[in-house]
Amino acid sequence: QDKAKCEQLKAEKQQIITTFSRERDVLESSCNEAKAAFEIQKGNCDNPKDEIQVMRDDSEAQVEYLEEEKKTNANNYSIERATLESRYKEMKTALELERESFSKFKLETSTSMRELTQDKAKCEQLKAEKQQIIT
């Protein structure tokens, strides 16, 4: 019986060793996979820092560009505004001169029309006098 028990214990020991070896192999494989995944994640963690810095640098450069563009636009706006105001004043002055000229023309035309009417009346009167003298 001791021999049978010893054989049984040997078989159980062998089964335990086999099971242990399989479990150890599975655990070592899982551990190696976990180490590899960790290294990949570690690499990914370093890369985002670089990527974040690149994105930050790009953003800062873009902000600087937009600020320069804003200054340029503000300067162009000031120049354009000054130019337009100057042209407006010139056009306003020209319009006032045209109005003044038109008013003078209107007055001269009115005066000429009055003189013409008076001359016509004088002419009619002279014709009438001539007719009286002739007859």
Decide if pLDDT at 3 tops 80.
Answer: yes
pLDDT for 55: 84
Read off the pLDDT of residues 33-53 as tens digits, 9 standing for 90 and up.
Answer: 998 888 887 766 666 667 778
Q: How confident is the model at residue 88 (pLDDT cuts 50, 70, 90)?
A: very high
Radius of gyration of the chain (CA): 56
Segment 17-34 shows an average pLDDT of 89
- Cα separations in angstroms, 127 against 69, 113, 114, 122, 124: 83, 20, 20, 8, 5
* Predicted TM-score of the model (pTM): 0.42
Distance (Å, whole) CA 51 – CA 11: 59
Q: Which stretch of DSSP H or E encloses residue 114?
A: helix 2-134
Distance (Å, whole) CA 24 – CA 31: 10
